[in-house]
Amino acid sequence: AAVEGFDPEDIEGAIEAAGHGPLPVLAVVGRPNVGKSTLVNRIIGRREAVVEDKPGVTRDRVTYEAEWAGRRFKVVDTGGWEQDVLGIDASVAAQAEYAIEAADAVVFVVDAKVGATDTDEAVVRLLRKAGKPVVLCANKVDGQSGEADASYLWALGLGEPHPVSALHGRGTGDMLDRVLEALPEAPAQTFGLGAGGPRRIALIGRPNVGKSSLLNKVAGEERVVVNEVAGTTRDPVDELIELGGITWKFIDTAGIRKRVHLQQGADYYASLRTAAAVEKAEVAVILIDGSESISVQDQRIVTMAVEAGRAIVLAFNKWDTLDEERRYYLEREIETELAQVAWAPRVNVSARTGRHMEKLVPAIEAALTGWETRVPTGRLNAFLGELVAAHPHPVRGGKQPRILFGTQAGTRPPRFVLFASGFIEAGYRRFIERRLREEFNFEGTPIHISVRVRE
């Protein structure tokens, strides 16, 4: 496309950059204290994944976006969870398992100064079973003298150990080059095996909102088609469930059913599980307990699904217990606390009585439809032209920025690039987003809009 004042190559580049699909996922796994979080900090180039000295510290954030050599990917940090009641081996294995399941490639971090331990060997067995590409990181090689320690790790049978100092950055570039070779361009979950199969649903929500009750309700009344996909050490992970005459794949039903009560790190464990399920899913059904105030934890889960770019349905559960007053206050809370997903279809259900279960499927379908909608460029520009003519951007400093051209660069979720003659203010961007949603029925999906400004 030719846009006044833009270099055609820049336009193509902008569309390509904005149109990327879901990003591939890299998991960083290993025993506590080997330096996973330090390495994640290095990879994302920020101080976000704060390294804490306290063991068992809870962190709600587990997924970060990263870029290396011009390629973008997601990193799952499993460093936030320490030994718990399960014992060291089981807890490392469980966290690694979730992370590996959601990942397209794995960095396995070993403390080269300590050498391989039995726990490391246990993780190696998990990695073998999972069959995902693995890059072996021999960490804490702070200088030349440590290189010998790293070479002992050949014995793990995972190929070449990459000597790295996550703390000082030594060797991390070479290792990341290897990671990029191991990492596919696009996640397999989305474009590979899953494509064309049953749609994938992540049923998520904080503990006690009624996830397992809801699952039992839908799986109990309808037919559980087949238990499939054996986990690496656990039982079936995902289940195919027929609902509204359609077969859906419910992600991580094992995790929902098995109510793991952990003392330390339980929140972190739940976050990791939720993040893994969201990564594997196309649509997130976020369950919220309508009888209680909407909490920060509910909001975090919503944010996680929005940031992952998944289709979203909000289900308010325990409706059977709500009196008129609570219903009134819930509406106010939804307006203020869940404004970021005001566009999400909403159902008020009761897993106990079965109320409105039949409304779930239409809501999920509406969300998936919006998530996959592609607006033809001609239609989009006709719409933008009328919109901008009727509601021009406010004049700033004697100039009036105009939107010259727009195109939808990608779907799942929809991504748009707008080319403008000047800086477009946040308020006007929100206005455009709102009108786009109304016009093209983007219900239940985040939409991304990037604006390129003419030099």
Residue ranges that bind ligand GDP, judged by CB under 6 A:
30, 32-38, 51, 79, 139-140, 142, 165-167, 205, 207-213, 256, 317-318, 320-321, 350-352
Q: Is 256 annotated as a binding residue?
A: yes
Per-residue tokens: 393: 């951007």
State the minimum distance, in angstroms, from the CB of residue 87 to ligand GDP. 17
Judge residue 245's burial from the number of C-beta atoms within 10 Å of its C-beta, 0-12 exposed, 13-18 middle, 19 or more buried. Answer: exposed
Annotated binding-site residue? 320? yes
Q: Is 37 annotated as a binding residue?
A: yes
Nearer to ligand GDP, 289 or 365 (CB): 289
Contacts of 277 by beta carbon, 8 Å cutoff, 6+ apart: 102, 202, 203, 204, 251, 252, 255
CB of 34 to ligand GDP, least distance (A): 5
Q: How far is the CB of 300 from ligand GDP (least distance, A)?
A: 15
Least Å distance between CB 131 and ligand GDP? Answer: 24
| CB of 213 or CB of 295, closer to ligand GDP | 213
Closest approach of Cβ 168 to ligand GDP, in Å? Answer: 6
Query: Does the annotation place 318 within a ligand binding site?
Result: yes
Place of tokens 């069959």: 131
Task: Using the minimum distance from each CB to ligand GDP, give the nearer residue, 206 or 310.
Answer: 206
Q: How far is the CB of 5 from ligand GDP (least distance, A)?
A: 48
CA dihedral sign, ordered 245, 247, 252, 257: positive
Structure tokens at 157: 């049978």
Q: Confirm or deny that 245 is annotated as ligand binding.
A: no
Between 91 and 350, CB nearer to ligand GDP: 350
Closest approach of Cβ 374 to ligand GDP, in Å?
Answer: 35
Q: Is 77 annotated as a binding residue?
A: yes
Is 53 exposed, middle or buried (CB count within 10 Å of its CB: 0-12, 13-18, 19+)?
exposed
Tell me the β-bridge partners of 111: 139
Dist. CA 230–CA 63, nearest whole Å:
25
Q: Is 451 annotated for ligand binding? A: no
* Alpha-carbon dihedral sign for residues 104, 105, 108, 109: negative
Angstrom distance (rounded) from CA 428 to CA 225: 48
We find the least distance from the C-beta atom of residue 421 to ligand GDP, in angstroms, to be 47
Encode 133-163 in three state secondary structure: CEEEEEECCCCHHHHHHHHHHHHHCCCCEEE
Cβ atoms of 239 and 253 within 8 Å: the answer is yes
Q: Is 441 helix (H, G, I), strand (E, B) or coil?
A: coil
Return the residue nearest ligand GDP (CB atom).
79
Q: What is the C-alpha separation between 180 and 96, in angstroms, rounded?
A: 20
- Tell whether 31 is in a known binding site: yes
The verdict on whether residue 211 carries a ligand-binding annotation is yes
The CB-of-361 to ligand GDP minimum distance in angstroms stands at: 18
Point out which residues pair with 106 in neighbouring strands. Answer: 27, 134
**CA distance linking residue 101 with residue 278, whole number of Å:** 12
Residue among 239, 226, 251, 267 at smallest CA distance from 310: 251
Nearest residue (CB) to ligand GDP, 32 versus 187? 32
70: annotated binding-site residue?
A: no
Whose Cβ is closer to ligand GDP: residue 321's or residue 377's?
321
Q: Which of residues 210 and 444 has its CB atom nearest to ligand GDP in the complex? A: 210
Q: Determine if residue 79 is labeled as part of a ligand binding site.
A: yes
> Which CB atom, from 205 or from 446, has the smaller least distance to ligand GDP?
205
Residue 290 has which token pair? 């309508």
Closest CB to ligand GDP among residues 112, 420 = 112
**Binding-site sequence positions:** 30-37, 77-81, 139-142, 205-212, 252-256, 317-320
**Binding-site sequence positions for GTP:** 30-37, 77-81, 139-142, 205-212, 252-256, 317-320
